[in-house]
Structure 1
Amino acid sequence: MELKPVGATVKTPAAAFTGDVYLTPIHTGTGPSRMTIALVRFTPGAHTNWHSHAVGQTLHVTEGVGLVGTRDGDVVRIHAGETVVCPPEEEHWHGAAATTFMSHLAMLEAKPDGSDPTTWLEPVTDEDYERANTSISPA
């Protein structure tokens, strides 16, 4: 067993996120585990750029209300306690709804060669983000 100290929280880079987003690393696996876990906190309206993960990504919402969108236009509203699984190589984005904070645990695996599993793409347009917020019921 190993007790690990809490990692330092960092502000995420503006090149990959819109709005203010903060990441606290929780775990980075070292062979044979390749699992990485981080607590990610989104301020209202903040969200990721489009991106994909080589081995997929699991998001478990710990607080608030958020959105996850895919290239085919599907958007789901996510609430505390819910989990979304994004399959390998699926281009998606996620973040807080327009009027509330949202925090989630982001869980993903590194590639077998240890390289970065995330491919960052272009920002989500303001129009697409607004459409996602208004097309999904606020439940």
Structure 2
Amino acid sequence: MAKNETLKNGGLFPVGPKNEAYAQFFVGQSYLQGLVNDPAVNIGVGNVTFEPGCRNNWHIHHDGYQILLVTGGEGWYQEAGQPAQHLVPGDVIVTHDGVKHWHGATKDSWFSHIAITAGTPEWLEPVSDEQYNALEV
């Protein structure tokens, strides 16, 4: 059994449906639950849940930023040219405008975070299996 498997039924916030809208930009299965659905607010706020081994592609936020509030499980965050950071509940990541990065679950744990996002994402190449599999907690 994977660590933190209870997250698949919901943690602090609902897991939400399978993340079909962005599936092409993820390796593995993720789930997305929008948390702020007010058209007058131009910042996205969502609960993203990753199955073990799931991660998103490298990407950049243009004319904006992304803040990740880790709420459950164990995951990774990495900026291009920097070592990956192991994430646990309570960690906060701020990604500034124009910074290439990725984030996702560890190989053996579910992972969830609240993503607060402004600007336009540019989706890039997947994180290679070789690079991902070399990460160790």
Taking structure 2 as the reference length, what is the TM-score of the superposition? 0.81
Counterpart Cα distance in 2 of 1:120 and 1:28: 23
Aligned partners of 2:100 and 2:38: how far apart in 1? 24
> Which portions of structure 1, spanning 4 or more consecutive aligned residues, are displaced by more than 3 angstroms?
28-31
Cα deviation 1:86-136 (Å, max 9, x = unaligned)? 111100000001110000000011x4xxxxx111011110111112x22xx
Report % sequence identity. 31
Contact 2:33-2:48 at 8 Å conserved across structures: yes
- Paired position in structure 2 for 1:123: 126
Structure 2 unaligned residues grouped into runs of 5+? 1-13
* Structural mapping, 1:25-40, within 5 Å: 25-31=34-40, 33-40=41-48
Structure (1/2) with the larger helix percentage: 2
Matches within 5 A, 1:1-139: 9-12=17-20, 13-31=22-40, 33-54=41-62, 55-109=64-118, 111=119, 117-131=120-134, 133-134=135-136, 138=137
| CA pair 53-28 structure 1, distance change in 2 beyond 3 A | farther
Aligned residues: 122
Q: Which runs of 5+ in 1 are unaligned?
A: 1-5, 112-116
Q: Which has the larger radius of gyration?
A: 1
- Whether the 8 Å CA contact 2:18–2:29 is kept in 1: the answer is no
